[in-house]
Amino acid sequence: MILLMLLLAASPRELNDAGMKSYRARDYAKAVEHFQKALELDPEDKEAGPSVKEQVERARLRALIHHNLACVQSLMRAKGEVCSTDNYRSAIVEHLRQSVRFDPSRLDRAVNDPDLAAVRDTLGFQSLKGLSISRDADLAALLPRVHWWSPGVGVYGSTNELTFKADGTVESKTKVVSEEGKLLAPKVVTGRWKLDGRKLSIDWRDGKKAGGAINDRGFDLDGTAYSDSPSECDA
């Protein structure tokens, strides 16, 4: 009870410091709790002082907290802890975006921090590096840098994932379920991919062909929408 009262009375900077202490102790769940509380205290920065210096310092602090929260959630995700504290790829990247928005000088740190390895293959992270799915000239470089998933199907989540490579090859992994409902080894098929503007085509090694188009969220392939976020905690 005393610890809870102290946390409720703590400032955003004190909560950030507490979060970093938990981070160093590898108590990531507790670190997330501290960082989230720090951001919730003053979401609109109304407590920032009237001077420009005070406002800049407060913005830098919020940027730091957003970055720290993204890093910890990414580390939890890398350990397979996705649903416990909502460590979704999109949520982590959004914290990075907010971090850079509050303090543009953090862009280089966001791009190079090793703690963020679990979200490097997302559209949002690649946007931090200057690539955009809305720009046709970026697509050939962008597709191989992002991991793609189909929509979720019940308790099995996303049933198919695609990995494009810069050499023009592509790999498809499809989940296989036994009659008893157990997951078996995935079905793996390789092929070659090609872009014509925003049109995507794939020639699979088994002789089949697939086609679709790139949109601002991902792409459609033979009527299936693919995105950079797998279905994980909805079942």
Lowest pLDDT segment from 10-19, 65-74, 160-169? 10-19
Q: Answer whether residue 21 shows pLDDT above 90.
A: yes
Let me know if 196 is exposed, middle or buried by CB neighbors in 10 A (0-12, 13-18, 19+): exposed
200 phi/psi in degrees, rounded to 5: -115, 130
> Average of pLDDT values for 153-182?
91
Torsional sign, CA 77, 83, 86, 89:
positive
The strand ranges marked E within 116-181 are: 147-149, 160-164, 169-177
Domains of the chain, each with CATH number or no CATH: 2-120 (1.25.40.10), 136-226 (2.40.128.300)
In this structure, what DSSP letter does residue 150 have?
Answer: P
Q: Answer whether residue 2 shows pLDDT above 50.
A: no
> Average of pLDDT values for 144-165?
92
Whether this prediction's pTM lies above 0.85 is answered by: yes
